[in-house]
Structure 1
Amino acid sequence: MTTFTSHQLVLTAIGEDRSGIVSELTQLVSECNCNIIDSRIAILGNEFTFTMLLSGDIAAISRVEHTLPSKSMELGLLTMMKRTSSHTENNFSAGYTLEYTGIDTQGTLSRVTRFFAEQNISICSLKSDTFEEDNELRMRCELEFNTPSELDFEQFKVKFEELSSISNVHYVFRRIR
């Protein structure tokens, strides 16, 4: 398999965090003759989450779909699978990261993501967490996003400045592509 034009499957596994889960799941994928073309792992509370995009011929994808349920039971995992196809790139002019921090306030992430949606901006990746600093609970977030060709980025930054002021967050934009 040298291209991603074969069949694809998104697989997500969630369960109690413990050593060896990644090894077990990647071994199953390999034994089914699939290729992992993208993956993400996160620990949320005491739970492990692993999302993979698999590629393979129809027989390999079917083997994963039929083998995973029993392996999931054995490992105590909740799993979901969905067939998909190769991602179609839209016409974007540039890619950026946005990092912001501030005092943890309910609704900030919701306001930021709503603002991005209203600007027709595609969020590619999002990571957020909270931490304690100087006896205050603070939040931080990092988004990776693509801007549509028709977006006036300077005007976008002015509007985001207004939002950041209302939300009381400090932020940095960085162009990455």
Structure 2
Amino acid sequence: MAELAKQQLVITAIGEDQPGVVSALTQLVSDCNCNITDSRIAILGNELTFIMLLCGDMAAISRVEHTLPATGMELGLLTMMKRTSSHNAEQYGGGYNLEYHGVDTPGTLSQVTGYFAEYGISICSLKSDTFDKEEQAYMRCELEFNVPQELDIDAFKVSFEALSQRLEIDYIFRRIR
């Protein structure tokens, strides 16, 4: 597909989890002659959340924009769409993964993400949940993030160690790109 003709659209669909919803949405995208270049699905409570990044020419993207609202209503979904452009990964010095866990304490995720924001770190992906262990609630979180080129990653890691001790979490950093 020629770069000038390539368009991108982000779609989010939220609704009750039921068999066939994902199939119907991916079929709509295919019927409109678009390609799914990235996607995520999560079941939160009884709700399905499906996020897709589509690419296609102007006509294909327009067909999705005009067809999705009616299909979403038929499936009982709340749908949103937004045109976008390609992400510029060249402005980052590297990609990392952080996994942490500890006793479930309100505000931990907020403090970690706020800490990342202070350092200008872009969070690409985040998954967190809670679980019971030994009659106590625990939380775990996994983040994928990009660091700015000018960030001293070693100094950041040392500083994060102090935060992790204050929050009483165990963690692992890994470079992924």
TM-score for the superposition, normalised by structure 1: 0.96
Question: Which residue of the partner structure matches residue 42 of structure 1?
Answer: 42
Letter in 2 for 1:95: G
Is the CA contact (8 Å cut-off) linking 1:5 and 1:86 kept in structure 2? no
Question: Which residue of the partner structure matches residue 71 of structure 1?
Answer: 71
Question: Which residue of the partner structure matches residue 101 of structure 2?
Answer: 101
Letter in 1 for 2:82: K
What is the deviation of 1:18? 1.2
- Render the CA deviation track for 1:71-111: whole Å, top value 9, x for unaligned: 01110000000111111224222211100000111100000
Question: Which residue of the partner structure matches residue 172 of structure 1?
Answer: 172
CA distance in 1, matches of 2:45, 2:84: 29
Is the CA contact (8 Å cut-off) linking 2:9 and 2:83 kept in structure 1? yes
Stretch moving more, 95-104 or 1-10: 1-10
Letter in 2 for 1:107: G
Is the CA contact (8 Å cut-off) linking 2:5 and 2:58 kept in structure 1? no
Structure 1 residues without counterparts, runs of 5 or longer: none
Matched, 1:27 2:23: no
Cα–Cα, structure 1 residues 46 and 2, in superposed 2: closer, same or farther, change >3 Å?
A: farther
SS in 2 for 1:87: coil
Question: Which residue of the partner structure matches residue 88 of structure 2?
Answer: 88
SS in 1 for 2:87: coil
TM-score for the superposition, normalised by structure 2: 0.96
Alpha-carbon RMSD:
1.4
SS in 2 for 1:15: strand
Cα–Cα, structure 1 residues 106 and 5, in superposed 2: closer, same or farther, change >3 Å?
A: farther
Question: Which residue of the partner structure matches residue 138 of structure 1?
Answer: 138
Matched residues, percent identical?
A: 68
- Render the CA deviation track for 1:23-70: whole Å, top value 9, x for unaligned: 000000000111111100001111000000011111111111111111
SS in 1 for 2:93: strand
